[in-house]
Amino acid sequence: MATEVANAPSHHEEPDPNENYLKAGRGIWSWMTTLDHKRIGVMYLVAVILAFFMGGMFALLIRLELLTPGRTIMGAATYNRVFTLHGAIMVFLFIIPSIPAALGNFVLPIMLGAKDVAFPRLNLMSFYVYVVGAVFCLFSIVSGAIDTGWTFYTPYSTTSSSSVVSMTLGVFILGFSSILTGLNFIVTIHKLRAPGMHWRRLPLFIWGMYATSIMQVLATPVLAITLALLAMEKLLGLGIFDASLGGDPVLFQHFFWFYSHPAVYIMIVPGMAVVSELFATFSRRAVFGYFAIAMSSLGLALLGFLVWGHHMFTSGQSEFATMVFSGLTMLVAIPSGVKTFNWTATLYKGSIWLTTPMLYALAFLVQFAIGGLTGLFLGVLSIDIHLHDTYFVVAHFHYVMMGGTVMGFVGGLLYWWPKITGKLYNETAAKVSFGFVFAGFNAVFIAQFIMGSRGMPRRYYDYVPEFRPYHAFSTYGSWILAVGFFILAGVLIQSLRKGAKAPPNPWGSAGFEWNTASPPIFSNFAETPVITRGPYDYHEATEEELFDGFPEDFKKTES
């Protein structure tokens, strides 16, 4: 592909570097072959929102089936497929690329003062690789679906007749997309910072992306080889994971979680990265403990590689290993706590502006605290024996993944929406949608905490009648949540169609990405910016930089 693009006669159509990026180059073809990180980010955004919608539909189906004991709308075999697809789509097609590949691609080079990511062609390639991977995943849905759960545990995955091979192949390909994005970001952050943008001035979003990229680059290849072995095991009967052939099924779990534990930090760290920006902008003060937050992202990246065994306390790994992993798991609380306390301290005596993105950031803070602390319960060996594979675990990771990352994603989407589209959205309607999302989400998963602690196992199709009130409550919550997201979709569509034109810096932020037009010009900045202060130095920013209207109005207010 690379050579093709190089040879394409693009000389005549070379976009004007000072034109709005949405208008520089017209037609579908100019989008399909674009090397502009902003357009690639927008294409990713559309793709992950579609994936979120699909995964969300499966979630609603799961909840609807569990409304009553026994059969409600589908049979047990279908149910197994639906929860597998919910998990696999949400993890691999939505959450992992959501913030880095969609929002990160758009914002990261602008924040750095760069014209593009280091390898624009690789960036476009990673998008197409993602699309190919998604096609394989969709193929496995129509070709009989897969019912192993998103973890593909052996020996079930190697013996079940469902389309495991096409799904693992799809995830394998998606992994490459993730690696290429991570690689691109690391090089971009190292090499393409504007003059004056030294490491202590990097926005915290960039620090979070940096930590995420390191994990993507180092963990994903291990998933690749694991899935390759799994596919070969199924095709050739290698026996590496098959106990009857002398293999070891627990080895699969070790391999899988060596990737998938860093993967959950690949999901949550970008959420933290977004809310760090939101807290600073909407408290209108410097982030408290900037360097501590930056380092805690790297700390999470490091610890992410050392705690995979805590998913396997009941798998039969050695007692010594469980003790070590349990101890290391406790350490995760340190960087997480550093972040949580520093965000809270940022709010203290800040001038808080309760916009919708800020509401999402505050929801992140509360829900991540719940998700994080219940994670500690699960890290304690004796308690985990009781809670393992119950709804408590389900509620815990949804509080982190959805209560954390999705809140960060939506908050970030609304925060940068005026920058991406050049349009403002209706704040009141967005706040209403936030209310539904917040209430619905907590209703769904608080019920699951309670029933989990009382012994309701996860992934079960049927349950004893005493759990019925909790399941029903959780299902009603899922409907409130869905209403919230549909309102949000309406808000965004309305903004695209009829939204007012956005000024360059509608939030009056000191962040560098707001120094360019909304939407940005093709080359991001008319000339390379020179950075003379940190991204949260409100006391050093000029009034012009913080002005939340149009530049021509600023001149009027001055005169």
Partner 1 sequence: MSSATTTDASHAAPAGEHGHGHQYPFLAHHFDTPVHQFDSAKLGMWIFIATEILMFGGLFVAYGIFRGQEPEMFRMAHERLDRIMGAVNTVVLLFSSLTAALAVRQSQVGDRKGTTRWLVITLICAVIFLVVKFFEYQHKFHDGLLPGHYFQAHLQQFAHHGHVLPQRAHMFFALYFMMTGLHGVHVLIGMGVLSWVLKQNLDGKISKQFFTPVEIGALYWHLVDLVWIYLFPLLYLVG
List contacts with partner 1 (CB under 8 A): 2-3, 6, 8, 10-11, 14-17, 35, 109, 114-122, 179, 183-184, 186-187, 190-192, 217-222, 224-226, 228-229, 232-233, 236-240, 245-248, 251, 255, 523
Least distance in angstroms from the C-beta of 521 to partner 1: 12
Q: Tell me, rounded to whole angstroms, the distance of Cα 141 from its chain centroid.
A: 23
Least distance in angstroms from the C-beta of 255 to partner 1: 6
Distance from C-alpha of 161 to C-alpha of 173, rounded to nearest angstrom = 22
CB-wise, 56 or 262, nearer to partner 1? 262
- Residue 349 is given by DSSP the state T
Least distance in angstroms from the C-beta of 113 to partner 1: 11
CB-wise, 109 or 371, nearer to partner 1? 109
Least distance in angstroms from the C-beta of 180 to partner 1: 9
In what helix (H) or strand (E) does residue 84 lie, and over which residues does it extend? helix 76-88
DSSP bridge partners of 390: 457
Least distance in angstroms from the C-beta of 254 to partner 1: 8
Q: Which amino acid is at 337?
A: G
Least distance in angstroms from the C-beta of 291 to partner 1: 24
CB-wise, 116 or 277, nearer to partner 1? 116
Q: Which amino acid is at 353?
A: W
DSSP bridge partners of 423: 501
CB-wise, 3 or 542, nearer to partner 1? 3
CB-wise, 251 or 380, nearer to partner 1? 251
Least distance in angstroms from the C-beta of 211 to partner 1: 15
CB-wise, 74 or 194, nearer to partner 1? 194
CB-wise, 143 or 159, nearer to partner 1? 159
Distance from C-alpha of 70 to C-alpha of 464, rounded to nearest angstrom = 9
CB-wise, 6 or 28, nearer to partner 1? 6
CB-wise, 256 or 399, nearer to partner 1? 256
Question: What separation in angstroms does the CA of 446 have from each of 67, 403, 471?
Answer: 16, 12, 11
CB-wise, 238 or 424, nearer to partner 1? 238
Among 361, 343, 365, 368, which residue's Cα sits nearest to residue 288?
A: 343
Least distance in angstroms from the C-beta of 300 to partner 1: 19
Distance from C-alpha of 428 to C-alpha of 483, rounded to nearest angstrom = 16
Least distance in angstroms from the C-beta of 373 to partner 1: 32
Distance from C-alpha of 121 to C-alpha of 129, rounded to nearest angstrom = 12
CB-wise, 246 or 465, nearer to partner 1? 246
Structure tokens at 132: 């190919």
Distance from C-alpha of 179 to C-alpha of 217, rounded to nearest angstrom = 5
Among 363, 387, 410, 364, which residue's Cα sits nearest to residue 56?
A: 410
Least distance in angstroms from the C-beta of 240 to partner 1: 6
- Helix, strand, coil fractions of the chain, as percent rounded to 5: 70, 0, 30
Least distance in angstroms from the C-beta of 122 to partner 1: 6
Distance from C-alpha of 52 to C-alpha of 98, rounded to nearest angstrom = 9
User: Is residue 24 within 8 Å of 510, Cβ to Cβ?
Assistant: no
In what helix (H) or strand (E) does residue 360 lie, and over which residues does it extend? helix 356-379
The 10 Å CB-count burial string (b at 16+, else e) for 169-196 is bbbbbbbbbbbbbbbbbbebbeebbbee
Among 472, 427, 359, 410, which residue's Cα sits nearest to residue 52?
A: 410
